[in-house]
Amino acid sequence: MSVQDRRRILGPAEAKPLRFAVDSETSIPEEGRTDDKKTGKESVFISTDLVTNANGSSYLEYMDGNSDQVLVMSSVFGPRPLRGSFQSKASVSIQFKEVTLEHFNTGEIKEICTFLTNVFNAVINIEKYPKSGIDIFIDLIQHSNSNPAEEENIIKILPTCINSITMALVDAGIEIIDLVSAGSVDNSVVAFIRNGHEIVGIWSDDDKVSDISRLIEDCRVKYLQNKQTLVQYLR
Amino acid sequence: MNTNTALQQDRHLSLETRPCSRGFEEFRDVLINDGNISRYSAKCQNANTNNVIGSSIVRSGKTFVITSITGGIVEETLSANNEDDVGEEELITLSEGSNRLAKNASVHPVVEIQRGRVGGPTDEEMITSERLHKTLLHSGILKKTALRVLCGVRRTDENGKTTKIYSDEILEEERKISESNNRRWSYVLYAKIQVFSRNGPIFDLCWNSLISALKSVQLPRAFLDERAADLKIAVRTRGRSMTIRETYDILCDPEKSLPLQLNQHELGYGSNYGIIDIDPLAQLAKEENEMDVDKPTSVLLADIETEAEESSIYSKLSLITNKDGQFKSATIIGGGSKITPEMIKRCISLSKERSKDIESKI
């Protein structure tokens, strides 16, 4: 960076971030560890109204069959007035941020935001909120299986992000067409509404998907599970 | 502030309670844990990819602060021939003796308060970061010597098996290997402090979170590859020959680490207070025959919370102390209400109590 950032205390410019050596010796017990804890059971913890100065918020802890955790917090600000010219629909903006680790680059974060914005533009009843902005902030607190080298990271966190935003929107009392949720299979995520009859978003990092209808079918099974969990919490 | 809320607050206060339903000298409940964020946390799942070396989550009332500490390594600038020049060494030690601050180190904090907006840091975020940085530097909690890297050497033998040797663990005859490189490195600590559900002054919360995160910091052991340890490249430019020494690639040991040495007896925890006058007109007479209702009475409120209190209280105290009353920082801002010596005394004893409570929770 050519211009020095005077607004933050950044420390010496010549400092290098800590780099941990990758030893073949250490990766072996690591493997053993995951095998030990493999329960095969997925579990979700849901809580809402954690962030008091947001209109709605939610906190989700998702644990997959390998005891890998994804902790996501979403907060919804709005609908609040938009400045400028008249807008007949609400404008939805989604910001994604990593609270502790910094494993995603700006390009990936932008992609995630665009994808989620597309999904939620289709789900939020934006005609209901003219002249207003709905700002959604996602804070990824922990992602225990994150690997800077792997590309699957996004796939692992996306369904939890979608579920978390849905819960935050419900908490904020913003009108949505249906509870949106998603399922992931291999390297793809599909977001559904209306009991899996409508698709609102597909993300795939797989370049050789042979049977797309099969993929959607598999994701739908997971979607129904996820949605069931959300419904149970809201009941 | 809305007159209505001001009146409401005055009525509350005259009834000896606060809008947030706490007593005047009652603090919010504090919960502190390490949040399982750091790679050295007991239940850490992702030790192989996690570069957070210390963490804490502090929750006070509805507000919570997540602090994660990451590190870096910086090479210290040394005089070219520091071993031979005894005079210069002496000069350095002399000047350092009078300059106490030169021995202290600090972290580089970045405070972010979630407020539902995007953009650059706000004034409050910048001021809080700066204050945390300066307070830690002046407190003497963290010394430069605690951040020194005791660099080891990694050896690869002919079978491709690697061993790591650290100078304080090795035998005498091997010690000279690591002493062959006369360079020094030190760790740099960065703190990312995120505040959620802010509803009051945050400096003392951030401070407590930073201190409890620092207490959990483990500094990974660092090493060089033996082959790189004394690498010199001869170059010749414009007829002059010189040697360039390789910039070393310091790697960190994924397993071995040492706890960060903090000056335990210097540790202190923060709390804040406000002093407010109750408008005599808003006071509800407790007894019918009470005479001096026209005199404004001022009250001391501990742990300012809610926007109503924050915007109507101008006289504020912010103290950092340990349980024995050893102060690290004290900020007293007089504005509006008169701060009497009795009130300052009361604040001091309250802050000692608070500090004791927080210390027991970390």
CATH number at residue B17: 3.30.230.70
Quote the tokens at residue A155: 């796939």
Which among B68, B194, B254 has the least Cβ separation from residue A20?
Answer: B254
- Is B41 among the domain residues? no
Residue A30 clears pLDDT 50, i.e. is over it: no
Same domain, B296 and B236: no
Question: Region B245-273: what's the mean pLDDT?
Answer: 84
On whether both B154 and B254 belong to a single domain, the answer is yes
- Among the listed residues A74, A214, A231, the one whose alpha carbon sits nearest the alpha carbon of residue A138: A74
Nearest partner of A158 among A181, A192, A124, judged by Cα: A181
Q: Tell me what pLDDT residue B244 has.
A: 62
Q: Quick check: A53 and B116 CB within 8 A?
A: yes
Query: Last residue of some domain: B258, B284, B313?
Result: B258
- B70 contact residues in A (CB cutoff 8 A): 17-18
A33: pLDDT confidence band, cut at 50, 70 and 90? Answer: very low
> What count of other Cβ atoms lies within 10 Å of the Cβ of residue A173?
10
pTM flag (> 0.80): yes
How many CB atoms within 10 Å of residue B171? Answer: 7
Closest chain B residue to the Cα of A63, Cα to Cα: B45
Per the structure, the complete domain to which residue B334 belongs is given by 3-28+269-361
**Residue B27, CA atoms < 13 Å, CB-side half-sphere:** 21
The answer as to whether B235 is a domain residue is yes
Note the pLDDT of residue A206: 75
Confidence class of residue A172 from pLDDT cuts 50, 70 and 90? very high
A139 touches chain B (CB under 8 A): yes
Residues 6+ apart with CB under 8 A from B152: B164, B165, B166, B167, B178, B221, B222, B223, B224, B253
Domains and CATH numbers, chain A: 41-234 (3.30.230.70)
ipTM: 0.86
Could B55 and A22 be called an inter-chain contact, meaning their C-beta atoms sit closer than 8 Å? no
Residue A139's nearest CA partner among B54, B208, B196, B110 is B196
**B123-139 vs B203-215: helix axis angle to the nearest 10?**
50
DSSP string, B303-357: S--HHHHHHH--EEEEEEE-TT--EEEEEEE--SS---HHHHHHHHHHHHHHHHH
Closest by Cα among A47, A87, A74, A83 to A174? A74
In a domain, B289, yes or no: yes
Contacts of A67 in chain B (CB under 8 A): 45
Helices (H) and strands (E) in chain A, counts: 4, 9
User: What is the nearest CA distance from B40 to chain A, expressed in angstroms?
Assistant: 13
Cβ-Cβ contacts under 8 Å, A58 against chain B: none
Percentage of the residues of chain A whose pLDDT score is greater than 70:
87
Q: What is the C-alpha separation between A60 and A233, in angstroms, rounded?
A: 11
- A11 close to B (CB below 8 A): yes
Residue in the block written with tokens 């919010």: B28
Q: Give the CA distances from residue B108 to residues A175, A234, B309, in Å, rounded to whole numbers and listed in that order.
A: 43, 42, 31
Query: Per-residue pLDDT averaged across B11-35, rounded?
Result: 86
Residue A122 pLDDT > 50, yes or no?
yes
Same domain? For B282 and B352 the reply is: yes
Structure-token match 């209808």, residue found: A213
Identify which of B207, B162, B255 has the alpha carbon closest to the alpha carbon of residue B65. Answer: B207
Predicted confidence at residue B350, as pLDDT, reads 93
d(CA B320, CA B305): 18
Residues B233 and B312 placed together within one structural domain of the fold: no
| Inter-chain CB proximity B37 and A69 less than 8 Å | no
Judgement on whether residues B281 and B310 belong to the same structural domain of the protein: yes
Q: What is the pLDDT of residues B112-169, one digit of tens each?
A: 999 888 888 999 999 999 999 999 999 989 998 899 888 777 777 666 667 777 766 6
CB contact under 8 A, A145 and B199: no
Q: Are residues B294 and B355 in the same domain?
A: yes
How far is the alpha carbon of B323 from chain A, nearest alpha carbon, in Å? Answer: 30
Minimum distance, in Å, between the CA of residue A149 and any CA atom of chain B: 10
* Residue B114 DSSP symbol: -
Residue with tokens 């007894």: B287
Q: Tell me the per-residue pLDDT of A99-113, one tens digit each, with 9 for 90 and over.
A: 887 778 888 899 999
Of A69, A75, A147, the CB nearest to B49: A147
Is residue B240, in this structure, part of any structural domain at all? yes
Is position B199 within any domain?
Answer: no
Contact A21 B251 (CB under 8 A): yes
Which of A162-176, B16-30, B146-160 has the lowest average pLDDT? B146-160
**Could you tell me how many residues make up chain A?**
235
Residue A228 burial class via C-beta count within 10 angstroms: exposed 0-12, middle 13-18, buried 19 and up: exposed
Q: What stretches of chain B show up as alpha helix (H) in DSSP?
A: 3-14, 86-98, 123-139, 172-179, 203-215, 226-229, 306-312, 341-361
CB contact under 8 A, B116 and A19: no
Lookup result for tokens 């998603």:
A182
Nearest chain B CA: its distance from A28 CA (Å): 11
Instruction: Check: CB of residue B303 under 8 Å from CB of residue B62.
Output: no
Same domain, B160 and B249: yes
Residue B229 reports pLDDT greater than 90? no
pLDDT at A17 over 60: yes
Q: Is the Cβ of A47 closer than 8 Å to some Cβ of chain B?
A: no
Q: Is residue B236 assigned to a domain?
A: yes
A117 at the B interface (CB within 8 A)?
A: no
Residue of chain B nearest A53, judged by CA positions: B197
Which range (B221-235, B302-316, B322-336) has the least confidence?
B221-235
Is the Cβ–Cβ distance between B320 and B329 less than 8 Å? yes
User: A81 — contact with chain B (CB < 8 Å)?
Assistant: no
A111 in reach of chain B (CB within 8 A) = no
> Can you give the pLDDT at residue B134?
93
Whether the Cβ atoms of residue B61 and residue A53 lie closer than 8 Å to each other: no
Number of Cβ pairs < 8 A linking chain A and chain B: 137
Q: Is residue B39 within 8 Å of B46, Cβ to Cβ? A: yes
Q: Which amino acid does the sequence have at A20?
A: F
Cα–Cα dist A136/A132, whole Å: 13
pLDDT band at B288 (very low <50, low <70, confident <90, very high): low
> pLDDT-derived band of residue A29, with 50, 70 and 90 as boundaries?
very low
Give the amino acid at B112. E
Name the residue with tokens 């095998």. A35
Does B145 reside within a domain? no
Q: Are residues B279 and B354 in the same domain?
A: yes
Contact of B285 with A51, CB cutoff 8 Å? no
Instruction: Please report the residues numbered 14 through 33 in chain A whose beta carbons come closer than 8 angstroms to any beta carbon of chain B.
Output: 14-23, 25-27, 30
* pLDDT reading at A5 higher than 90: no
B233, B258, B283 — which closes off a domain? Answer: B258
Residue A169: partners with Cβ closer than 8 Å, 6 or more residues away: A56, A76, A120, A124, A136, A176
Number of structural domains found in chain B:
2
d(CA B239, CA B196): 62
Question: CA-CA distance, A135 to A117, in Å (whole number)?
Answer: 10
In this structure, is residue B110 part of a structural domain?
Answer: no
Q: Both B352 and B252 in a single domain?
A: no
Token match 């706890």: residue? B259
Hey, what amino acid is at B23?
A: G
Q: Give the confidence band of A188 by pLDDT, cuts at 50, 70, 90.
A: confident
Q: Which chain B positions have a beta carbon within 8 Å of A137's beta carbon? A: 114, 116
User: Do residues B345 and B280 both lie within one domain?
Assistant: yes
Tokens of B359: 């210390």
- For residue B360, what are the contacts with CB-CB under 8 A and spacing of at least 6? none
Do B275 and B351 lie in a common domain? yes
The mean pLDDT value of chain B amounts to: 81
Show which of B234, B258, B282 is a domain's final residue.
Answer: B258
CA distance, residue A69 to nearest chain B CA (Å): 8
Residues B234, B303 within the same domain: no
Give the H or E element holding residue A96: strand A91-98
* Contact (CB<8Å) A142/B52: no
